[in-house]
Amino acid sequence: MLKACLNGARRREEHAAVPLTPAELAADAARCADAGAAAVHVHPRGDDGAESFDPAVIAAAVTAIRSARPGLPVGVSTGAWIVPDPAARVAAVRAWTVLPDFASVNAHEPGAAQVAAALHERGVLVEAGLWTTAAVDAWRRWPTPAGRILVECMAEPVETALADAAAILAALPGERPPVLLHGEGPATWPVYAEAVRRGLHTRIGLEDTLLLPDGTSAPDNVTLVRTAHTFRRR
């Protein structure tokens, strides 16, 4: 599976093609699906442009994407930087009126197990975000099953990111959910190549990188997805 991560915390000042509004996310998601993305991960924004867990904001983004491309799985983030208080994150999930297909939960964050449980109770597939080997231990203590593991290499130096990927993957149990491996910044494409080599799910998009493999600026998410598929055929 190739997932398109459309915006993350990116601002329009960073790249003119970052989709922010529900209509922009929907149009971009449909184009990426046409280019071969099997799912999309988005960070819905409020009217002020800030990431939000508000039920109306989540509903607007998810509904718009589903209207533009029925059947395309849609996921959101539950990162603690959006709503720092764990109890407030749980309350927000329980208040959602339109549910995404999946949501990522960073295992190292305070309240992660409770947020994962709230998502699972509502029938949302939980993606366990593992940034370190310590996070693997934290995830394994969850009472809630994860539907997918995200091995997320956050270090920008390529050698460090690849070493982190190897260490986290080695720490995972043999019996585990499907794994998606990805990097960020300068390590995005090398980690992408490692995911392909290992036969793992992966992702690409403006959330992770603004550049193509040759170091030139990526015009938009669609170009990143198309390039990723070409890369996978090498």
Domain of 7, in residue numbers: 2-232
Judge residue 195's burial from the number of C-beta atoms within 10 Å of its C-beta, 0-12 exposed, 13-18 middle, 19 or more buried: buried
- Arithmetic mean of pLDDT, 139-161: 97
- Model-level pTM? 0.96
Distance CA 18, CA 84 (A): 24
22-47 tens-digit pLDDT = 999 999 999 999 999 999 999 999 99
pLDDT value at 128 more than 70: yes
3-state helix, strand, coil in the chain (%, to 5): 40, 20, 40
Q: What is the tally of structural domains in the chain?
A: 1
50-70 tens-digit pLDDT = 999 999 999 999 999 999 999
The CATH code of the domain that includes 52 is 3.20.20.70
Question: What's 37's DSSP letter?
Answer: -
Percentage of residues in the chain having pLDDT higher than 90: 98
